[in-house]
Structure 1
């Protein structure tokens, strides 16, 4: 899961805990000691637990089973590791390979007709070229 996913999970969990505490206060003040109060309190805990587990399961499913979620995880890994392990080919307009690079490479996206990437601590810029990238993702 990404940092954003954990933040969302933390916010949902905090909200559920606050609402659970408020519900407990409401139950304790408005119900006399009885079995009904115990079952109501147990119900509040079960609902809160179900919401937290459901939030985690939903976020886990999103980040492992959807293409957009998987891309988000790979993008985060690329940002944290300064690129992905990949092989890139720089192609001219005729499709001929000008240069090939292999290693941890961070490609900068743009739409200006040029290719920019960082490789071994250097920034490379190729104008009027195309880039073919083959990344090793898990």
Structure 2
């Protein structure tokens, strides 16, 4: 499966689903309660997005974020794309080394149960943009 084709896809699709989730009256507070300021850093192509869950903000890069990330996930854009479709188990991917976690891994693991609510939003955003080549 291909990953993203340009450096803005990660911010557009992953950041976009979080912006939608922040506005949800149930999901938004649950995400904020994790306390995670998460940097998702990908390769192939190099890209990043900062998800500031307590502030309910998305930033295109660490340099744009007013708060330093307290956790980082590093992976290929292919792995990120498959994860947001529900095709990658985060715990197994971390154990296999497909995803490298740094910082407050506990905050990341608190986030994982909420992500299942984001998968349909992610898939729909790909469909809305005609990005069927990214759908697993």
Both structures adopt the same fold (TM-score exceeding 0.5): no
Structure whose residues are more often helix by fraction: 1
Q: Normalization by structure 2: what TM-score?
A: 0.23
Higher strand share: 1
Q: TM-score by structure 1 length?
A: 0.23
